[in-house]
Structure 1
Amino acid sequence: MELKKGINLGGFLSQCVHTKEHYDSFIVKEDIERIKGYGFDHVRLPIDSEVIEYSNGNVIEEGYERIEEIIGWTREEGLDIILDLHKVQGYDFNDANNDSKNNLFTSDLLQERYLNIWNEISKRFSKYDNVAFELLNEVVEDKNADAWNKLIMQAVKTIRNNTVDSYIIYGGILWNSASTLKLLDPPADDKIIFTFHFYEPLLFTHQKAYWVETMDPNWEISYPGDKEEYIEKSAILGNQGLAVSGSKYEYFGIEFIEDFVLEAIKVGKERNVRLYCGEFGVIDQAPVEDTLRWFDDVFTVFEKYDIGYAIWTYKEKDFGLVDRHYDPIRNRLIARINNEI
């Protein structure tokens, strides 16, 4: 399982309206064929727990059947697939600081439910050699670093009771930041992959994003960019702009990107563990030619250090590769992914 170049199926079984009508129409077999035609070798499938379990914890068979169908589509096309548990009962990265909603790390009952999900998923799907398991998307709070390590250990043990061959993927805290991989305990075996997400500089990749409260919708941010502008405006973003404030570079381009990723590279070498970037991309509000330049720089860094990746995302969610915004650069972007330019 190489997991070299992939794309997310965001908004399909996660961060969506959970209805049969949506599931039936958002991604169909032809989409998987199209992804294969673009030259990708895998997809990352975010899944909310409510797809596969009721509020009382009972199994939703139709949800598991749908996942199995999608696995079948990928197998027909020769693609690998990562089953990413994106949100679970008691944890939603979008509402991380709401302790009344996010109590996975303090509730034995919710942790038991979480482990039961991984027991069920791994029992059903470890028989497929093109399937990898990602434990949880974007643990956010630094206060949960130790609790996350403990839950990782339990989840890995649960999965390994069903399979010793399947790859298991997980990342650090602070939205799967590359800088927090060092807080993870050493991997339990050689089928573990450390993941991080990369949206830096956030000022560029998330410009005009309505969900970033302090983002000015009137800003038009270029890439590469001038340090003075980046630092001034990133400071307004608060914690989400911290990566920029500590940069030693006068210009925000490929040197900044490589420097940011080096923290992950160091951990990978020290722990002898593979690295994977499970999400990276640019919002559909950014200048398209600058977007292409950003992707080219990120690809260059990932290729240099042999880091696999999955672009965020295939369709919609403000980042959709197949949506109208990407029309002027899509063919060139696909050509760059395949090293044809």
Structure 2
Amino acid sequence: MNLGRGINFGNALDALDGGPRLPLEHRYFDEVAAAGFATVRLPARWSAHAAATPPYTIDPAFFRRVDAGVAAALDHGLRVVLNVHHYDGICAAPDEHRPRFLALWRQIAAHYAGHDNRLCFELLNEPRGELTADRWNAVLAEALAVVREACPERTVIIGSAEMNSPAALPALAVPDDDHLVATVHYYAPFEFTHQNAGWVAGAERWLGRTWGSPADEDAVRADLAKVAAWGRDRRLPIFIGEFGAFSAADMVSRARWTAFVRTEAERLGLSWAYWEFGTDFGAFDPESATWREPLRRALLGV
């Protein structure tokens, strides 16, 4: 499946305590569909809304919140990527949290088994830490098998270890399955895209960095060409599930970088989803209820 042009509704169903929060309002799906996007990625922090002991039951109230987002997207003719986001436990202690992670997916897959195949599952956002490539490959295969019990043909998105780094793709073991898409996240150069980001130690030192030289462009070309080649070798579609530049960067450079990554991805046949709709990387300004035009044009080319 080619997911086309997408955008993340980050900081809505996955919001962290004390962080920015996006209300998941129906009008935002109107905006996304009218702008011309094809896909919405819905990050969801299931681990914060499930029991800590077996059978690790997911709170029905949270399911209802997720259901509303999925339905709103599908009702607008959008594809949906629904993931497990911000599950720090599985990354810090894989052996301990593996049964809970698999139980979450058993419940999620069964709950959405009746939905049409415009709904896709992404097994885990940014595996990292103690969830090394070898460990993640094993857990990934188990989670996919759990999903397939209820959803034998639903598109499932799998990503590399090391926070979905493109550099970690060669270590990703791809299961034998006809309904897979591989994902990477792209934030290079990190010192530009995350300048002054409060959750990154020392990021204030990068404030003022711009982007747009021929060398900058060449670096993006080289990075994405390697990703595309990996996908071609495995006959596997590639989805850049996140890319974006934090709001502290100057808008001219943000728009230039965003447009270049987007056009290069499309030239290589890669689908993508911008991070994100309406908070600290946002292409949309909820206060004025308008798109930030430089970013909208960078993403859609019109």
Residues 49-88 of structure 1 deviation map (CA, whole Å, 9 limit, x = unaligned): 2454133322311111221121111121001111110023
Contact 1:288 1:328 in 2 (8 A): no
Relative distance call for 1:191 and 1:66 in structure 2 (3 A) is same
* Paired residue secondary structure (1:161): helix
Distance 2:52 2:17 in 1: 16
Residue type matched to 2:172 in 1? L
Note if 1:202 corresponds to 2:190: yes
Relative distance call for 1:311 and 1:218 in structure 2 (3 A) is closer
Deviation at 1:268, TM superposition (A): 0.6
Partner residue of 1:247? Answer: none
Distance 2:297 2:149 in 1: 42
Select the residue among 86, 96, 100 that pairs with 1:113. 100
Larger deviation: 329-338 or 64-73? 329-338
Note if 1:10 corresponds to 2:10: yes
Map of 1:184-203 to 2, 5 A cutoff? 184-203=172-191
Note if 1:85 corresponds to 2:84: yes
Q: Which runs of 5+ in 1 are unaligned?
A: 93-101, 226-250
Distance 2:206 2:293 in 1: 29
* Paired residue secondary structure (2:249): coil
**TM-score of the two chains, using structure 1 as the length reference:** 0.81
Partner residue of 1:302? Answer: 265
Partner residue of 2:68? Answer: 69
Relative distance call for 1:332 and 1:89 in structure 2 (3 A) is closer
Question: 4+ residue runs of structure 1 moved beyond 4 angstroms?
Answer: 324-329
RMSD: 2.5
Relative distance call for 1:185 and 1:33 in structure 2 (3 A) is same
Partner residue of 1:26? Answer: 23
Q: Which runs of 5+ in 2 are unaligned?
A: none
Deviation at 1:311, TM superposition (A): 0.6
Contact 2:283 2:291 in 1 (8 A): no
Residue type matched to 2:261 in 1? V
Residue type matched to 1:272 in 2? R
Map of 1:209-248 to 2, 5 A cutoff? 209-217=197-205, 219-225=207-213
Partner residue of 1:131? Answer: 119
Residues 226-269 of structure 1 deviation map (CA, whole Å, 9 limit, x = unaligned): xxxxxxxxxxxxxxxxxxxxxxxxx5322110111222222211
Distance 2:81 2:10 in 1: 12
Distance 2:17 2:290 in 1: 30
Distance 1:67 1:265 in 2: 32
Distance 1:305 1:218 in 2: 30
Note if 1:334 corresponds to 2:296: yes
Contact 1:7 1:314 in 2 (8 A): yes
Relative distance call for 1:197 and 1:333 in structure 2 (3 A) is same
Distance 1:297 1:329 in 2: 19
Distance 2:102 2:291 in 1: 42
**TM-score of the two chains, using structure 2 as the length reference:** 0.91
* Paired residue secondary structure (2:7): strand
Note if 1:321 corresponds to 2:288: no
Deviation at 1:142, TM superposition (A): 7.5
Deviation at 1:301, TM superposition (A): 1.0
Residues 286-339 of structure 1 deviation map (CA, whole Å, 9 limit, x = unaligned): 1101111101110121011111111111111x2122238999982243234333
* Paired residue secondary structure (1:279): strand
Relative distance call for 1:17 and 1:328 in structure 2 (3 A) is closer
Select the residue among 46, 49, 71 that pairs with 1:49. 46
Distance 1:294 1:39 in 2: 20
Residue type matched to 1:338 in 2? L
Contact 1:190 1:273 in 2 (8 A): no
Q: How many residues align?
A: 298
Contact 1:138 1:175 in 2 (8 A): yes
Distance 2:175 2:16 in 1: 33
Residues 104-155 of structure 1 deviation map (CA, whole Å, 9 limit, x = unaligned): x222xx2111111111111111322221001111112387111100001101
Contact 1:167 1:191 in 2 (8 A): yes
Relative distance call for 1:32 and 1:204 in structure 2 (3 A) is same
Query: Percent identity, aligned pairs only?
Result: 26
Residue type matched to 2:104 in 1? I
User: Which one has a bigger Cα radius of gyration?
Assistant: 1
